[in-house]
Chain A
Amino acid sequence: MNTLTSIKIADIYRWLEEVKDPEIPVLSLVDLGVITNVNVEGIHVTVEMTPTFVGCPAMDFMKSEVITVLKKYGVGDPQVDINFKSAWSSDKISEKGKASLKKFGLAPPPSTKDIQLDLNILEHSVCPRCNGTNTEMKSPFGPTLCRSLHYCFDCREAFEQFKPV
Chain B
Amino acid sequence: MNEGALKELLYKMADDLLILGHRNSEWTGMGPLLEEDIAFSSMAQDKVGQSLALYNILHALGEQAPDTVAFTRHAAQFHNCILVELPNQEYDFSLIRHFLFDTADSLRWEMLTKSTYEPLSLLAKKIKGELRYHTLHANTWMKQLGTATQESISRLQQSLQVVMPYALGIFEPSPNESILLTEGIFEGESALQAKWKTRVEEIVSGTKLHLPDWKTVTPVFGGRLGKHSEHLEPMLNEMSEVFRMDPTAEW
Contacts and interface: CB of A to CB of B under 8 A. Distances in A.
Nearest to B34: A139
B122 A89 contact: no
B50 A55 contact: yes
A139 B45 contact: no
Nearest to A115: B132
B43 A141 contact: yes
Interface of A: 50, 53-57, 83-85, 87-89, 112, 119, 138-143, 145, 148-149, 163, 165
Given A84-B122, A140-B137, A165 B129 contact: yes
Given A89-B129, A143-B38, 14 more contacts: A50-B126, A53-B130, A54-B53, A54-B127, A87-B125, A87-B126, A87-B129, A119-B136, A139-B38, A140-B137, A141-B35, A141-B38, A145-B45, A163-B133
Interface residues of B, number: 28
A54 B123 contact: yes
Given A138-B35, A140-B39, A55 B46 contact: yes
Contacts of B43: 141
Contacts of A119: 132, 136
B224 interface: no
Interface in B116-136: 119, 122-123, 125-127, 129-130, 132-133, 136
A55 B52 contact: yes
22 contacts: A50-B126, A54-B50, A54-B126, A54-B127, A55-B49, A55-B50, A55-B52, A84-B119, A84-B123, A84-B125, A87-B125, A140-B136, A140-B140, A141-B38, A141-B39, A141-B41, A141-B137, A143-B38, A145-B45, A145-B130, A163-B133, A165-B130
A142 B50 contact: no
Contact of A139 (B39, B53, B127): B39
A79 B53 CA distance: 20
B133 A141 contact: yes
A53 B39 contact: no
B48 A55 contact: yes
B48 A88 contact: no
A55 B137 contact: no
Contact of A88 (B119, B126, B133): B126
Interface of B: 35-36, 38-39, 41-43, 45-50, 52-53, 119, 122-123, 125-127, 129-130, 132-133, 136-137, 140
Given A141-B43, A141-B137, A145-B46, A54 B130 contact: yes
A85 B35 CA distance: 33
Nearest to A50: B126
Contacts of B42: 141-142, 145
B196 to A, nearest CB: 20
A143 B122 CA distance: 27
Contacts of A55: 45-50, 52
Contacts of A89: 129
A85 to B, nearest CB: 6
Given A55-B49, A56-B49, A84-B122, A139 B129 contact: no
Top 7 nearest A-B pairs by Cβ distance? Answer: A55-B49, A141-B42, A139-B35, A87-B126, A141-B39, A84-B122, A165-B129
A141 to B, nearest CB: 4
Nearest to A82: B56
Contacts of A57: 45, 49
A30 B241 CA distance: 39
Contacts of A139: 35-36, 38-39, 137
Nearest to A164: B129
